[in-house]
């Protein structure tokens, strides 16, 4: 995204609707910024395995 990163997007989405469930994927490891901001409901590190993605999404939509 040219104007913001994923964490900035998640913060804006959660500010509009805190109940929105989020699954973040990144090539980087989870860091304190993710954990401190409570914006991420599930995190998957790339490369993503399809079964892990399915589990993360299913968990969030239950």
DSSP per-residue letters across 9-56: HHHHHHHH-TT---EEEESSPP-HHHHHHT--SEEEESSPPHHHHHHH
% the chain with pLDDT above 90: 39
Euclidean distance between CA atoms 22 and 19, whole angstroms: 9
pTM above 0.95, yes or no: no
- Classified as helix, coil or strand, 13 is helix
Mean pLDDT throughout 12-31?
A: 87
**What distance lies between CA 50 and its chain's CA centroid?**
16
């Amino acid at each position: 995204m040219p104007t913001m990163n994923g964490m900035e997007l998640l913060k804006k989405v959660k500010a509009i609707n805190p109940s929105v469930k989020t699954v973040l994927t990144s090539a980087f490891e989870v860091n304190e910024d993710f954990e401190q901001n409570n914006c991420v409901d599930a995190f998957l590190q790339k490369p993503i395995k399809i079964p892990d993605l399915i589990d993360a999404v299913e968990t969030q939509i239950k």
